[in-house]
Amino acid sequence: MQDIIIIGAGIIGSTVFYELTKQPVSVTILEKNLDAGLEVTGHNSAIIHSGIDPTDGTLKAKYNILAVPIYEAYCKELETPYKRIGAYVVAKHPDELDHLYELQSRALKRNVPVELLTRDVALQNEPYLSDSIVGALDMPTTAIIQPTHLSQQAIKKGVKNGGVAKFDTKVLKIIKANNHFEVHTNKGVFESRLVVNASGLYASEIEQMVSKPSFNLHYRRGEYLVLSDQASYVTSRIFYPVPSPLGKGVLFVPTIDGKFLIGPNALDVKTIEDNIVTEAGIHEVKDKILKMMKNIPFQYEINTFSGLRPRVDSDDFILSESPYVKHFFNFVGIESPGISSAPAIAYDMVHSLLIPSLNSLE
Ligand SMILES: Cc1cc2nc3c(=O)[nH]c(=O)nc-3n(C[C@H](O)[C@H](O)[C@H](O)COP(=O)(O)OP(=O)(O)OC[C@H]3O[C@@H](n4cnc5c(N)ncnc54)[C@H](O)[C@@H]3O)c2cc1C
């Protein structure tokens, strides 16, 4: 019998696993794929956002802000790359300037360093921005990581600390016994006193193995195209448009391995099987980036991919015990800024929720 079973080795399950292995508890993580971080965690922009975007009072804001100052040291501890490359939020029309001022004042309140740039200064620094831009907000603390590698390192180091990781192990059924759970998989039955549901896009399926639904999960697709490192002369920064209610918009993002991502768009889809790249989606992405930039070397396109955002009705993370089943925890609805928030979520969930819950059983 383990103290805790975590279902899902995305960035959330893996970092919670690693944090738990530093505590005097037994923990097993079950992952249906052959390695960690291959689903939502492997299909995104990989940005550590500065923390000025999420709305006040949300868990998204709380954990993004808490994680930014510790992220570099956390990556060092996990021996995974982290690069603080900075970003510009770019206003394309005069009516977007108000939004830049709003972001600037939110940054001030949250102690995030930013600087408002005139059009001329922004263009001088970044000549591939469109001539029609009207200003930009410089966010020097924005960074990039490799989320799949970070998750794999968290598992590797957690296993060194004594945790157990089982890959190619799909959870098929969960039985709640008197004071423990039986987790049935294709590789046998595992028992634990607590269960953490960190299964990303499959979170409803896992919850409904133990209870009626406590949340509705929706999927929002984002498509990208990838440019090779031959485009490296364009910039070393991230460019964001001014955000809209649908999200952060189509970005230009350098990657840790020297490539560039252009995307994502945002389309609500019905099923996980809708996680595909479409011609229309890539067309939309190209169209939108050309409103913010010019002379993009699309001839260096080498790939496309898509990812699905797991969203819940509250538009915020769910990080809590199930309202229906004691000692069953849902860490779900983790869309952006999930990557940016992961180390802070892991620390807080372990120390404020999971360890106290285990102690209450003793
Ligand atoms: C287009 C897009 C762009 C994004 N950009 C950013 C960004 O720039 N910055 C940022 O901070 N965030 C970003 N995000 C959000 C971020 O990617 C997610 O918040 C994060 O990856 C969610 O991680 P997770 O661990 O919850 O889910 P996942 O990574 O999906 O992990 C869940 C794991 O559970 C496993 N699993 C599922 N069912 C079972 C089962 N039955 N048995 C065993 N294992 C199971 C899956 O195989 C998977 O490995 C973006 C997301 C998208 C889609």
Give pLDDT tens digits for 219-228: 999 999 999 9
Q: Are 337 and 306 contained in the same domain?
A: no
CA dihedral sign of residues 24, 30, 36, 41: negative
Segment 208-221 mean pLDDT: 97
Q: What is the dihedral of CA 44, 48, 53, 55, to 10 degrees?
A: 90
pLDDT greater than 90 at residue 347: yes
Per-residue pLDDT band for 244 (boundaries 50, 70, 90) equals confident
Strand, coil or helix: 67:
helix
Q: How far is the CA of 11 from the centre of ligand 1 (A)?
A: 7
Whole-number mean pLDDT of the chain?
A: 96
Q: Are 112 and 247 contained in the same domain?
A: yes
Q: Is the CB of 4 under 6 A from ligand 1?
A: no
pLDDT of residue 212: 97
- Residue 77 domain-assigned? no
- Residue 211 domain-assigned? yes
- 310, 331, 347 — which closes off a domain? 310
Segment 47-61 mean pLDDT: 95
Cβ neighbours of 248 (radius 10 Å): 20
Q: Which CATH number fits the domain that encloses residue 283?
A: 3.30.9.10
Closest CA to 333 of 136, 200, 159, 193: 200
pLDDT of residue 131: 96
Domain boundaries, position 34: 2-45+147-216+315-361
Q: How far is the CA of 80 from the centre of ligand 1 (A)?
A: 18
Tokens found for residue 27: 């923990």
Cβ neighbours of 154 (radius 10 Å): 32
Q: Are 298 and 249 contained in the same domain?
A: yes
Q: Are 208 and 232 contained in the same domain?
A: no
CA 279/CA 265 separation, integer angstroms: 12
- Residue 116 domain-assigned? yes
23 in Cβ contact with 281 (< 8 Å): no
Closest approach atom of ligand 1 to CA 47: 8
User: Tens digits of per-residue pLDDT, 168-180?
Assistant: 999 999 999 988 9
Q: Is 49 a catalytic residue?
A: yes
CA 47/CA 315 separation, integer angstroms: 20
pLDDT of residue 152: 98
User: Tens digits of per-residue pLDDT, 62-100?
Assistant: 999 999 999 999 999 999 999 999 999 999 999 999 999
Segment 26-47 mean pLDDT: 98
CA 71/CA 68 separation, integer angstroms: 5
Per-residue pLDDT band for 361 (boundaries 50, 70, 90) equals confident
Q: How far is the CA of 338 from the centre of ligand 1 (A)?
A: 8
pLDDT greater than 80 at residue 213: yes
User: Tens digits of per-residue pLDDT, 255-275?
Assistant: 999 999 999 999 999 999 999
- Residue 248 domain-assigned? yes
Q: Are 131 and 251 contained in the same domain?
A: yes
Strand, coil or helix: 141:
coil
Q: Is the CB of 39 under 6 A from ligand 1?
A: yes
pLDDT greater than 90 at residue 240: yes
Given phi > 0 = left and psi -120 to 50 = alpha, else beta, which region is 28? Answer: beta
Closest approach atom of ligand 1 to CA 33: 47
294 in Cβ contact with 128 (< 8 Å): yes
pLDDT of residue 218: 97
Segment 35-63 mean pLDDT: 97
pLDDT of residue 310: 96
Q: Is the CB of 232 under 6 A from ligand 1?
A: no
Q: Are 168 and 303 contained in the same domain?
A: no
pLDDT greater than 80 at residue 362: no
pLDDT of residue 348: 98
Per-residue pLDDT band for 36 (boundaries 50, 70, 90) equals very high
Closest CA to 214 of 325, 334, 301: 325
DSSP secondary structure letter of residue 217:
E
Q: Are 197 and 252 contained in the same domain?
A: no
Q: Are 225 and 123 contained in the same domain?
A: yes
Q: Which CATH number fits the domain that encloses residue 212?
A: 3.50.50.60
Per-residue pLDDT band for 279 (boundaries 50, 70, 90) equals very high
- Residue 75 domain-assigned? no
Closest approach atom of ligand 1 to CA 41: 21
Q: Do the bridges between strand 143-145 and strand 2-7 make them parallel or antiparallel, or are there none, so unpaired? A: unpaired
Q: Are 302 and 164 contained in the same domain?
A: no
Please give the tally of structural domains in the chain: 2
pTM of the model: 0.97
Q: Are 169 and 226 contained in the same domain?
A: no
pLDDT greater than 90 at residue 246: no
- Residue 59 domain-assigned? no
Segment 10-15 mean pLDDT: 98
Q: Are 237 and 303 contained in the same domain?
A: yes
* Cis peptide, bond prior to residue 147, ω within 30 of zero: no
41 in Cβ contact with 11 (< 8 Å): yes
Q: Are 279 and 152 contained in the same domain?
A: no
- 268, 287, 310 — which closes off a domain? 310
